Structure 1
């Protein structure tokens, strides 16, 4: 056979039956309520509206996406329990239990503790003492609820850790189908409330530091020829700006631990000296109101929850722990820290009001003698401690803001981040200058933000998370009834506390 014949034979196409296009049959797809996705009859692949992270783990809903992903982990309860999120955390700078406790104390022992005598004054001596422990217990319980729910959602989503806002989003994504469309809104709301709350705390800290420093300077200015006399309070606030900018250019939470330690030592020393003054010539309890007027209770609520609620720093602290199981264990970092905080707050509030009565000011340090060196040292020590606390409080809102805007900047991310930090610090100083009334300002921040963050949102997140789980809400739905009480309590505190605080700011009350 010639080469031409071989070539022609090789060019002859094969039988059409070999390459016959296979007959296509329709693929039947149905919605799987258990997996919250669409499955077909060809395989166990689920088609869902999720996007994946670099580890191919679905992390959040993506509108309009119908890409067939891998089988969704975290949807089967048996699979959920096998996933340990703590084993998958990879932290560059993990914090020890002791470091976390220091940060928790510093995040809670802010200027709020020094406002507790004013809070008790608005509630009455005995009622204020009992109500402080009650609100402290409720706040601590809500933090427990939030962290435990976050751990459950980490297992469902197979994510090592979730922040406060991500926990809310995951709850709505893995909860009842009707709640899925609200997932982005839930995340955005918590982020905004966190930012407003913690930046509001920063503004309060500026007012507090400026008032205490002004008292000391004014006293010495009376007998000095070179110190300025009766400078406006706002001048001291503006003078703090360069120091605040310098301190808050530190971007790593671990490097703030030494400043937190120094601040805690200063607070401990200052509070010890404050107790020395409080226990001198104590009046009889019969000279104080046991229960105040009903109309002043909203101010007590706003001030107390502002002082006791450190929920803004809880999730970042737990997520950065080397041993996160120790956070809400028994006794646990959270329980130890909050027991110490609530007890100290109750004592300061009780004896502060007992000592100074109706003359109690927005910060107990402002009631200490101005002509004694020891009293002046307390004011300066506490002022420095609160100044350092500003840095820890500023860390969380800056992280939230930067995470949402960093994609707008290309290669100049570092310059952009530092610029945003400086701009936000300037904003907090401007707000403090505009509202220099310490007492109503504290109550307003607590009533508006912490009613939602500390009471309402944790209750809503837990309810949505376990709504469609077998026995998820407990026997007789006791979890639902308990959370309904927390939500109603938070809404009542928000409405009444905000109204009374705004009236106080308008009237210029201290």
Structure 2
């Protein structure tokens, strides 16, 4: 579609609003990727960085671990979660190592060394043939990061919808509630919350969300360990290839916290403590992996083939002291939605400034345009969520598209490019660097394309079975 003359684009510099610096898609050295609200502000110590890292890697993904094992098989899924966590942690270190090397070699400002900026600088100072692609790669990285955040908003919308529906039906069995009706009500609530909530208020509410998540996780483990588990011999060790692809894609969604790695380091009082062998990054990811494995393994041993897209959907309301599990996570995800929503909303508001018809409009019209944009984003997350009304398949779809690229393909590719000019000085470069990273890239591509195809096939089957 051609853009009308009065709506043509114009250059506009990126700016900072509140605590979150947004990205406009410009081809310069200083346009950064969207920042996570948790990583902005004053310097943080090791404990605060550790808590932020754990919090950034624990969300709806960890609650879906039982369904990962259902798709993959008991021992295959168990091994897959551990192996994927270890590989993701290693590739986080690869990205961190590459960013630090670029920063030290070219005396770059560490505070600007986020994911997209690292990709930009690796190509800027890399092989001559690739330098012209630096801007395109930066936009690509930012695009995948935005896709992850918008996709996560869609996941939160469906998560809230399904948990409200299950919660109400369990207490009022005579109610007939479908996902579209409940999702529409959730959509209206989210629109109102986005109109009324400032980022400062949402940041304070995130403390409440953390408490709700912690209590909810404790209740889940109490239920799992007190209600009896099935024998490990009752379940298959492995399922089928399509199941493995979907399972791996869901795991990729769960370990998508790689975008936090560099901003967290730049905010630490002593950044050198971050990437040590048993520093903040490794310690935090070990805790995250153990929690994912525990929820997945024991959750599957409890619910088996009946494991839902989120373990909260399996937790019963009786005994009544387990009834708060769903409401606790519903509250947490409402707040998490606002946090995830904030960054892409700021980005799109900056992009709107490039449109002459918006930039030259009256203040009242500009205000209305921005509100309509925000409403449109919430409606989009609702439409995307209810169009794939299976939480496990929505997780797999986003994980296969964005998770595999950000967690596997790009870190490995960036280190190959960065070390390419020094390959003659690196012992066994073709084995220790090139071949190893080609394997990681191949795993990422298999997950991306294979997982995407397998998920789409499963989505089609789900619609046909209705």
How many aligned residue pairs are there?
420
- Asked whether the equivalents of residues 260 and 388 of structure 1 are also in contact (C-alpha less than 8 Å), the reply is yes
1:248-287 Cα distance to aligned partner (Å, 9 max, x none): 56665x8655433332322222122212222222121111
Distance in 2 between residues matched to 1:214 and 1:285, nearest whole Å:
31
Q: Secondary structure at the match of 2:323?
A: helix
1:155-204 CA-partner distances (Å, limit 9, x unpaired): 32623322222211111111000111111211111111111122111101
Give the match for residue 108 of structure 2: 158
2:259 to 273, 287, 312: 312
Q: Does 1:201 align with 2:148?
A: no
Match of 1:276 in 2: 222
State the 1:422 CA deviation.
4.0
- Matches of 1:143 and 1:62, distance apart in 2: 25
- Cα deviation, residue 146, structure 1: 1.4
Aligned positions of 1:28-67 closer than 5 A: none
Structure 1 counterpart of 2:209: 263
Q: Which has the higher helix share?
A: 2
Aligned equivalents of 1:311, 1:333: Cα separation in 2:
14
Pick one of 365, 387, 391 that aligns with 1:438. Answer: 391
Separation in 2, partners of 1:421, 1:153 = 37
Bigger shift: residues 295-304 or 391-400: 391-400
Q: CA contact under 8 A between 1:132 and 1:346: conserved in structure 2? A: yes
**What's 1:426 paired with?**
379
Match of residue 138 from structure 2: 187
Aligned to 2:311: 364
- The answer as to whether partners of 2:156 and 2:334 remain within 8 angstroms in 1 is yes
Counterpart selection for 1:238 from 184, 202, 213: 184
| 1:142 aligns to 2:88 (yes or no) | no
Contact 1:106–1:260, Cα closer than 8 Å, also in 2: no
**Contact persistence 1:93–1:320 (CA under 8 A):** yes
Pair 1:296 & 2:247 matched: no
Q: Does the CA contact (< 8 Å) of 1:102 and 1:260 recur in 2?
A: no
* Pair 1:368–1:486, CA change in 2 (3 A): same
- The residue number in structure 2 matching 1:502 is 456
Q: Which runs of 5+ in 1 are unaligned?
A: 1-52, 54-59, 64-90, 224-228
Deviation at 1:470, TM superposition (A): 6.0
Instruction: Answer whether contact 1:467 1:473 (CA < 8 A) is retained.
Output: no
Give me the whole-angstrom Cα distance separating, in 1, the residues matched to 2:131 and 2:57: 34
SS in 2 for 1:507: helix
Aligned counterpart for 2:163 among listed residues 212, 236, 252: 212
Structure 2 equivalent of residue 447 of structure 1 = 400
- The answer for the alignment partner of 2:37 in structure 1 is none
**Equivalent residue number for residue 296 of structure 2:** 349
Residues 61 and 219 (structure 1), Cα distance of their counterparts in 2 relative to 1, 3 Å cut: closer
Quote how far apart the aligned CAs of 1:363 are.
1.1
CA displacement at 1:458 relative to structure 2: 0.9
User: Aligned to 2:284, which of 290, 313, 337?
Assistant: 337
Q: In 1, distance between residues paired with 2:424 and 2:211?
A: 47
Please tell me whether the aligned partners of residues 191 and 400 of structure 1 are also in contact (alpha carbons under 8 angstroms): no
Taking a change above 3 Å as real, the CA distance of residues 242 and 62 of structure 1, as seen in their structure-2 partners, is closer
Distance 2:366 2:50 in 1: 30
Task: Compare relative contact order (CA 8 Å, sep 6+) and give the higher one, 1 or 2.
Answer: 2
The 3-state SS of whatever aligns with 1:129 is: helix
Asked if 2 retains the 8 angstrom alpha-carbon contact of 1:157 and 1:170, the reply is no
Structure 2 CA distance for partners of 1:391 and 1:153, relative to 1, 3 Å: farther
Shift of 1:95: 4.3
Q: Could you tell me the TM-score, scaled by structure 1's length?
A: 0.75
CA distances 1:110-165 after superposition (whole Å, capped 9, x unpaired): 11111100001111112211221110011111112112222222332623322222
Give the root-mean-square deviation of aligned CA atoms: 3.0
TM-score between both structures, scaled by the size of structure 2: 0.81
What is the CA distance between 1:464 and its match in structure 2?
1.2
- 1:262 and 1:328 map into 2 onto residues whose CA distance is 30
Per-residue CA deviations over 1:364-393 (Å, capped at 9, x if unaligned) read 111122444233211111222222222333
The partner residue of 2:120 within 166, 169, 181 is 169
Q: 2:435 aligns with which of 464, 481, 502?
A: 481
Hey, what's the Cα distance between the residues in 1 that align with 2:215 and 2:260? 24
Gap regions ≥5 residues in structure 2: 1-13, 15-25, 30-39
Kept after mapping to 2: 8 A contact 1:121/1:358 = yes
How far apart, in 2, do the equivalents of 1:334 and 1:472 lie? 29
Partner of 1:46: none
Per-residue CA deviations over 1:318-374 (Å, capped at 9, x if unaligned) read: 444444334323533322221111101001111111111111111111112244423
Residue 461 (1) aligns with residue 414 (2): yes
- 1:109 maps to which residue? 58
Report Cα offsets for 1:406-452 as digits up to 9, x if no partner.
45547969946665444323321221122222111111111111111
Task: Provide the rounded CA distance (Å) in 2 between the counterparts of 1:192 and 1:469.
Answer: 30
2:337 aligned residue: 390
